[in-house]
């Protein structure tokens, strides 16, 4: 039986936003956070920590003992981390401002038209209401992405069944999918589960399903599925709709990127970026496959529950 305290400690270390490693008395890496493994060369469990990582002011070392064994908890910083973060934050703020400017301009135009003699005020007000809804959706997703980046917990200490979440999402989207002319169905392994908080899992499923409903096109079919594979638990959404060009596929998970500029007003451009962030934070991978006129498939592979 797994010790709950040990499991909590493992999750805390693995999901730390810092580059953290645990060293034994001989300087061998006993454990390391995902960020340390991915961002620092030479950090591998079972091997010595490169000595240059402990030089200067780059490391904060906390010695302690476990069952009589001496170990060190080492927080590692990278030169330029703060500058890179500030640059990212500045760019993101500018992008959000740009994305808000367009619907706000349309909103102002619609309200001005509604005041003109002979215009259908009700029609313009309804269109203005839709612009307000898009602005609210954008703000909600920006706040959620900010929550993720500030360290919101994605991994859970227990397993969450995937299929019921997919079924709930499909049921909630049924009316919207009918209006868009897209048929949504769910299939897969009822026993498949992932160690992801239910809220985060729902966000992934909802964003993937909404993306298919928005962009697949009338007459398309979209399938939400889950299955267990040797690589992990695969959650996928595939449709047989319009698809995107091959050149656009690698950029689908970028913030605010839209493959079809003519449909820019129909989404925030953040949905797939949020999906990638959640899945990566859970230790998983995401990939998209598509071709113009051949539909789109997005596959998320989560680690098998321990």
Long-range contacts of the stretch 162-166 (C-beta < 8 A, 24+): 162/188, 162/192, 162/193, 162/194, 162/201, 162/226, 162/233, 162/235, 163/188, 163/189, 163/190, 163/192, 163/226, 165/198, 165/201, 165/202, 165/205, 166/205, 166/224, 166/225, 166/226, 166/235
Report the pLDDT averaged over residues 239-251: 83
* pLDDT at 80 > cutoff 50: no
In the CATH hierarchy, which fold is given to the domain comprising 81-148? Helix Hairpins (1.10.287)
Range(s) of the chain covered by CATH 3.30.565.10: 155-302
CATH architecture of the domain covering 4-76: 2-Layer Sandwich (3.30)
In the CATH hierarchy, which fold is given to the domain comprising 155-302? Heat Shock Protein 90 (3.30.565)
Under the banding of pLDDT at 50, 70 and 90, the label for residue 84 is: very low
Confidence at residue 38, expressed as pLDDT on a 0 to 100 scale = 73
Range(s) of the chain covered by CATH 1.10.287.130: 81-148
Range(s) of the chain covered by CATH 3.30.450.20: 4-76
Q: Tens of pLDDT along 46-59?
A: 888 888 777 755 67
């Amino acid at each position: 039986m797994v010790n709950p305290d040990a499991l909590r400690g493992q999750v805390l270390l693995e999901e730390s936003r810092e580059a953290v490693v645990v060293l034994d008395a001989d300087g061998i890496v006993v454990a390391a956070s995902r960020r340390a493994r991915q961002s620092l060369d030479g950090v591998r469990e079972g091997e010595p920590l490169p000595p240059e990582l402990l030089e200067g002011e780059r490391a904060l070392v906390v010695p302690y003992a476990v069952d009589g064994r001496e170990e060190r908890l080492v927080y590692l910083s990278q030169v330029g981390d703060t500058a890179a973060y500030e640059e990212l934050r500045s760019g993101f703020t500018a992008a959000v401002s740009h994305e808000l400017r367009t619907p706000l301009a349309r909103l102002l135009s619609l309200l001005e038209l509604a005041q003109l003699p002979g215009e259908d005020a009700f029609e313009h007000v309804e269109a203005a209401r839709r612009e307000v809804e898009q602005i609210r959706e954008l703000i909600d997703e920006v706040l959620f992405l900010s929550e993720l980046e500030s360290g919101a917990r994605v991994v859970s200490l227990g397993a969450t069944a995937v299929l019921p979440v997919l079924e709930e999402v499909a049921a909630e989207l049924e009316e919207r999918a009918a209006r868009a002319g897209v048929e949504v169905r769910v299939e897969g392994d009822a026993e498949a589960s992932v160690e992801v908080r239910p809220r985060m899992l729902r966000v992934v499923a909802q964003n993937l399903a909404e993306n298919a409903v928005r962009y697949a096109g009338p007459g398309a079919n979209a399938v939400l599925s889950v299955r267990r594979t040797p690589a992990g638990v695969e959650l996928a959404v595939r449709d047989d709709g319009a698809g995107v060009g091959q050149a656009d596929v690698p950029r689908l998970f970028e913030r605010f990127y839209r493959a079809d500029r003519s449909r820019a007003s129909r989404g925030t451009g953040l949905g797939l970026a949020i999906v990638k962030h959640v899945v990566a934070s859970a230790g998983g991978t995401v990939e998209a496959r598509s071709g113009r006129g051949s539909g789109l498939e997005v596959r998320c592979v989560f680690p098998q529950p321990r």
